[in-house]
């Protein structure tokens, strides 16, 4: 390599390094600004993981990833962005099937973009079982023939 090629290579490496540092700093700032603390009064599922009732720090890491940190268990949730009406307070939305709860959505305060959790295999199976068990049906006995 000649001196000119080496200089260009160094410039490109420096630019890539600075870009990577800027991205990490931006993602950390994003995560810190979208963190909330919530007391969940019931055990719930985060994907296929079951988390106990308790206080959790919920951090929106990116538009596709949420970190849940509890005193005894932690886990990540895969998500997709969801557009809605901005709320004054952040909130977690759960889906209930019988006595089981699944984390469905996470909304940071003041944001019109929330995160919708991707349904796990366990949640889809639970949903199907619940819908089969809850199908309304009735039997009617005929007492007399129509006239």
Whether residue 9 lies inside any domain: the answer is no
DSSP string, 48-102: TEEE-SEEEEEEEEETTEEEEEESS-EEEEEEEEEE----SS-EEEEEEETTEEE
Whether residue 110 lies inside any domain: the answer is yes
Report the domain count for the chain: 1
User: Looking at residue 21, what is its pLDDT?
Assistant: 33
Whether residue 23 lies inside any domain: the answer is no
Whether residue 86 lies inside any domain: the answer is yes
Whether residue 75 lies inside any domain: the answer is yes
C-alpha 79/C-alpha 72 separation (Å) is 23
Whether residue 115 lies inside any domain: the answer is yes
Q: Could you tell me the CA-to-CA distances from 67 to 1, 42, 52, 95, 135 in Å, in that order?
A: 46, 18, 15, 19, 36
Q: Which domain holds residue 59?
A: 33-133
User: Looking at residue 145, what is its pLDDT?
Assistant: 53
Whether residue 61 lies inside any domain: the answer is yes
* Mean pLDDT of all residues in 91-119: 92
* pTM, rounded to two decimals: 0.67
Q: What is the pLDDT of residues 12-30, one digit of tens each?
A: 433 333 333 333 333 333 4
Whether residue 147 lies inside any domain: the answer is no
Range with the lowest mean pLDDT among 13-22, 67-76, 107-116?
13-22
User: Looking at residue 136, what is its pLDDT?
Assistant: 60
């Amino acid at each position: 390599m000649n001196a000119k090629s080496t200089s260009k290579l160094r410039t490109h490496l420096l630019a890539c390094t600075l870009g990577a540092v800027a991205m990490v700093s931006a993602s950390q700032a994003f995560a810190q600004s979208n963190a909330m603390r919530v007391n969940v009064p019931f055990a719930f599922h985060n994907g296929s993981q079951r988390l106990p009732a308790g206080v959790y720090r919920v951090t929106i890491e990116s538009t596709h990833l949420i970190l849940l940190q509890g005193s005894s268990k932690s886990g990540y949730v895969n998500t997709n962005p969801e557009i809605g009406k901005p709320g004054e307070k952040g909130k977690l939305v759960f889906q209930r099937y019988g006595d089981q709860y699944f984390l469905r959505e996470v909304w940071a305060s003041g944001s019109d973009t929330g995160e919708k959790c991707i349904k796990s295999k366990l949640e889809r199976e639970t949903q199907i079982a619940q819908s089969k068990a809850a199908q309304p049906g009735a039997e009617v006995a005929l007492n007399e023939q129509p006239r």
